[in-house]
Amino acid sequence: MLLYTIRRTAQMLVVVLCVVTLVFLLLRIAAGDPARLMNAPDAPDDVIEATRERLGLDEPIYIQYLYFLRDLLGGDLGQSFQGSYSVAQVVFAALPNTAMLAAVTVLVSTVIALALGIGAALTRGSWLDRSVQVYVAFAQSIPSFWLAVVLVLVFAVQLGWLPAVDFTGPSSFVLPVATMAVALTPILIRTIRQSFIETLQQDYIRAARARGIAQRKILLVHTLKVASLPLVTLIGLQSGMILAGSYVVENIFNWPGIGKLAVDALTSRNFPMVQGAVLIAAVTFVLVNFVVDMLYTTLDPRIRLKGAS
């Protein structure tokens, strides 16, 4: 277990370094010359040359990379092109908003998925199971951005029940969370249903019934404890989809998170801001997966105790 933790931590650090390098390289390839981006399109060459020198862009790329790493370790993500903000400040101010949205989404989705997935697994072939299957089929086909627009159209514009944009309190969560939950629940439901069905067929469930254990307890303790384990890994794997979903949802609902920040920065070609937002999002993704992996190993005694004897 200790060995695993060390190995997994090392692996995580390697991946973080890869992410950082990749973002650095790709942005430079995709964006062209940052010095030109920073100045007006018709700026004279000597102005651009001065900017280039100031930013260290006249150095060879590997030197630039080393500078970039050095600044990064010091928590410096550079300065925004527009206005003189520190990118790090702006990005870290936006991160909690995205995290909150993601956390509520995961929570709501998990509760729904457990209820529907277990319900469907216990009544295979019934109307409930079939309705759940139909929901899964449709929900995984609905593009998030469209659903968001339709939800705004119906609940905010036509009915006026819920706020469409901006954060005004708990009700602001309803539409964004609903949009993201519809994208997340189908795969969770499928997994929990399948894993519940498989677990119920295990010998130890029959043995528990033979011991006279109450049905409720067999379902909620004996089965759920085994059957919900895959859910943990799955949520980790889906965190990338959740992050990507936040790009869409935050922009439609004007949610001041990291997705909106990135899209705004891309639209205004604010290069350091894009770099900072993507970097932090990507590193968060890697960290979330790391935490989920470690969580999984502590939740499952079969893995936790492996090799400890």
User: In the window 5-64, what residues touch other proteins (CB under 8 A)?
Assistant: 14-15, 18-19, 22-23, 26-27, 30-31
Long-range residue pairs from 236-241, CB within 8 A, at least 24 positions apart, any chain: 236/288, 236/289, 236/291, 236/292, 236/293, 236/296, 237/289, 238/184, 238/187, 238/188, 239/102, 239/285, 239/288, 239/289, 239/292, 240/285, 241/183, 241/184
Distance (Å) of CA 177 to CA 110, 171, 252: 12, 10, 12
Residue (50 or 283) nearer to other proteins, CB? 283
Number of residues that bind other proteins (CB under 8 A): 78
What is the C-alpha to C-alpha distance for residues 219 and 157, in angstroms, rounded to an integer?
Answer: 43
Query: Which listed residue (13, 61, 207, 220) binds other proteins by CB under 8 A?
Result: 207
Residue showing tokens 């933790």: 5
Residue showing tokens 């189908």: 186
Residues within window 250-289 making contact with other proteins, judged by CB under 8 A: 251, 262-263, 266-267, 269, 271, 274, 278, 281-282, 285-286, 289
What is the C-alpha to C-alpha distance for residues 84 and 29, in angstroms, rounded to an integer?
Answer: 25
Neighbours of 167 (CB within 10 A): 16
Binding-site string for other proteins from residue 69 to residue 108, where x marks contact by CB under 8 A and - marks none: ----------------------------------------
Neighbours of 54 (CB within 10 A): 11
Least CB distance to other proteins at residue 146 (A): 3
Show the tokens assigned to 81: 């092109």
Closest CA to 260 of 101, 42, 139: 101
| Binding status of residue 161 toward other proteins by CB under 8 A | no
Closest CA to 109 of 202, 195, 170, 186: 186
Query: Which listed residue (7, 209, 291, 298) binds other proteins by CB under 8 A?
Result: 209
Residues within window 114-143 making contact with other proteins, judged by CB under 8 A: 121-126, 137-138, 140-143
Choose one: 46-54, 58-66, 92-100, 243-251; the region binding other proteins (CB under 8 A).
243-251
Residue (169 or 302) nearer to other proteins, CB? 302
Show the tokens assigned to 142: 């609905």
Least CB distance to other proteins at residue 61 (A): 17
Neighbours of 74 (CB within 10 A): 9
Residues within window 138-157 making contact with other proteins, judged by CB under 8 A: 138, 140-147, 149-150, 152-153, 157
Residues within window 166-205 making contact with other proteins, judged by CB under 8 A: 200-204
Residue showing tokens 């043995």: 207
Residue (86 or 202) nearer to other proteins, CB? 202
Query: Which listed residue (108, 180, 235, 248) binds other proteins by CB under 8 A?
Result: 248
Least CB distance to other proteins at residue 14 (A): 7
Query: Which listed residue (40, 169, 302, 307) binds other proteins by CB under 8 A?
Result: 302
Residue (112 or 224) nearer to other proteins, CB? 224
